[in-house]
Amino acid sequence: MRLIMLGPPGAGKGTQAQRLVERYSIPQLSTGEMLRAAVANGTGIGRGAKAIMDRGEFVPDDVVSHMVSDRIDQEDCRRGFILDGFPRTVAQAEALTAMLDQKGVKLDAVIELKVNPATLIERMEKRVADTLAAGGTVRSDDNPDTFATRLDEYRQKTAPLLNYYRRRGELVEVDGMQGMDIVARDIASVLAKVDSN
Ligand code: ADP
């Protein structure tokens, strides 16, 4: 099973991806998490990405695309993977199409989680409050100003991808405003129709 989870920040891609990890025993490839790990480890990619991420902007396409291509080549991705946070631009989608062609594998579905902007902001604020209440560390890009930039980047650069995948007949829309369990059920019913061999 090879999937892309698309949707704005706070749409619930990570939460749903995590459930699919358990169901299909395939890894979740979150470019946001890979980049945060690179920042934490002080790698070359991390040093270049930190300031960009703190502003809520996108890291350069070629950096992210190479990172994903290398990750997909690892053994645990042979039976499939869930892409969360990639692709985020049309250039990244084109790079992904080319790399999958070259690796001889096919996407099974692109799932768009649809959530309205006011709800996204509420969710980000709740995530911050819950993290603080639990004594955790809040992501440096989870604050109102940076979140506004992230939503803007999504609208300008990622939303055009929906058409890219719609034209390819791969896009499936799921209502992300519903409770987590209902969203999970809707995704499961979409995937039940997909033949993923
Ligand atoms: P969100 O919860 O907002 O969807 P992520 O954890 O997926 O956030 O990503 C956090 C940040 O990492 C993004 O705002 C961006 O700076 C960077 N990033 C993650 N994925 C990509 C990508 N595919 N292309 C460019 N930048 C990315």
Q: What is the pLDDT of residue 194?
A: 84
> Which atom of ligand 1 is nearest to 150's Cα?
14
d(CA 107, ligand 1 centre) in Å:
21
12 lines ligand 1 (CB under 6 A): no
**CB contact at 8 A, 13 and 111:** no
Question: What ranges do the domains of the chain cover?
Answer: 2-191
Digit-coded pLDDT (tens) for 60-97? 999 999 999 999 999 999 999 999 999 999 999 999 99
Residue nearest to atom 23 of ligand 1 (CA): 86
What's the predicted TM-score (pTM) here? 0.92
In ligand 1, which atom is closest to the CA atom of 57? 16
DSSP letters spanning 129-197: HHHHHTT-PPPTT-SHHHHHHHHHHIIIIIHHHHHHHHHTT-EEEEETTS-HHHHHHHHHHHHHT----
Q: Ligand 1 centroid to 187 CA: how many Å?
A: 22
- For the chain, how big is the Rg over CA atoms in Å? 16
pLDDT at residue 23 in the model: 92
CA–centroid distance, residue 179 to ligand 1 (Å): 24
- Which residue ranges in the chain fall short of pLDDT 70? 195-197
Q: Is the C-beta atom of 58 inside 6 A of ligand 1?
A: yes
Q: According to the model, what pLDDT value does residue 33 have?
A: 96
**Contacts for 191 with CB less than 8 Å, ≥ 6 apart:** 1, 3, 20, 108, 109
Q: Is the CB of 147 under 6 A from ligand 1?
A: no
What is the fold of 2-191? Rossmann fold (3.40.50)
pLDDT of 106: 93
Q: What pLDDT is attached to residue 195?
A: 64
- Cβ–ligand 1 contact at 86 (below 6 Å): yes
3-state secondary structure at position 59: coil
